[in-house]
């Protein structure tokens, strides 16, 4: 890694450029700008933490946004070759870890190995705190969850039981159906999904 000191108004990366480095912010504020139809708009901001630049390196595409320093700052950069080597190594570990698990899951077992590995490539881990809601009853079901560690409680609002306020009470169940979330899910303790 190398350190890069930036000044206010300095462009760190520009939309449309080839990706050469991945950056981790040590300090400083940075605007995320996207230009479409000759109109530039701010789509976000980094404030003394965060990282950027990985998408162009991972997918071998041009930069999707411009990052401009809005204050003096310090970044740590990782060159494309080193970044890709780390990603390939980590993906190999992740693939190995999930390979046997996926082969044991009935509805995933029927997939070809290459199809299962595509799933592994897009899996993202998220850690939930004790009591934190993971999914909410009635929300659109757009994700697939695998509980890697920890325990979850699956709750559904009862149509027959109500609390003191007259609201439907949440009742613990053991399964739920597909399409839209028909229940709530909260973590017990620190849970990794």
Q: What's the CATH number where 138 sits? A: 2.60.120.10
Assess whether 9 and 68 both reside in one domain.
yes
In a domain, 86, yes or no: no
Lowest mean pLDDT among 10-19, 99-108, 112-121, 179-188: 179-188
CA 115 to chain centre: 21
| Count of structural domains, the chain | 3
In a domain, 105, yes or no: yes
**Burial of 78: CB neighbours in 10 Å, binned 0-12, 13-18, 19+:** buried
In a domain, 111, yes or no: yes
CA 13 to chain centre: 22
Assess whether 63 and 22 both reside in one domain.
yes
Whole domain around residue 74: which residue ranges?
A: 2-80
Residue 184's pLDDT band (cuts 50, 70, 90): low
In a domain, 27, yes or no: yes
Assess whether 53 and 103 both reside in one domain.
no
In a domain, 87, yes or no: no
**Burial of 108: CB neighbours in 10 Å, binned 0-12, 13-18, 19+:** middle
In a domain, 85, yes or no: no
In a domain, 187, yes or no: yes
pLDDT of residue 164: 59
Q: Check if the beta carbon of residue 176 is closer than 8 Å to that of residue 182.
A: yes
Segment 121-136, tens digit of pLDDT: 777 778 888 888 888 8
């Amino acid at each position: 890694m190398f350190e890069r000191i930036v000044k206010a108004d300095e462009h760190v990366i520009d939309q449309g450029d080839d990706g050469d480095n991945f950056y981790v912010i040590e300090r400083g504020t940075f605007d995320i700008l996207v230009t479409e139809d000759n109109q530039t708009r701010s789509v976000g901001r980094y404030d003394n933490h965060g990282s950027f630049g990985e998408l162009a390196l991972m997918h071998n595409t041009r930069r999707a946004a411009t990052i401009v320093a809005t204050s003096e700052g310090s970044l740590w950069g990782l060159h494309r070759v080193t970044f890709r080597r780390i990603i390939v190594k980590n993906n190999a570990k992740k693939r190995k870890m999930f390979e046997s698990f996926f082969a044991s899951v009935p509805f995933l077992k029927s997939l070809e190995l290459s199809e299962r590995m595509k799933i592994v490539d897009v899996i993202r881990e998220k850690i939930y705190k004790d009591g934190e809601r993971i999914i909410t009853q009635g929300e659109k079901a757009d994700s697939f969850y695998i509980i890697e560690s920890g325990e979850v409680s699956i709750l559904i609002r009862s149509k027959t039981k109500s609390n003191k306020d007259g609201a439907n009470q949440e009742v613990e169940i053991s399964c739920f159906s597909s399409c839209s979330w028909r229940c709530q899910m909260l973590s017990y303790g620190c849970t990794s999904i």
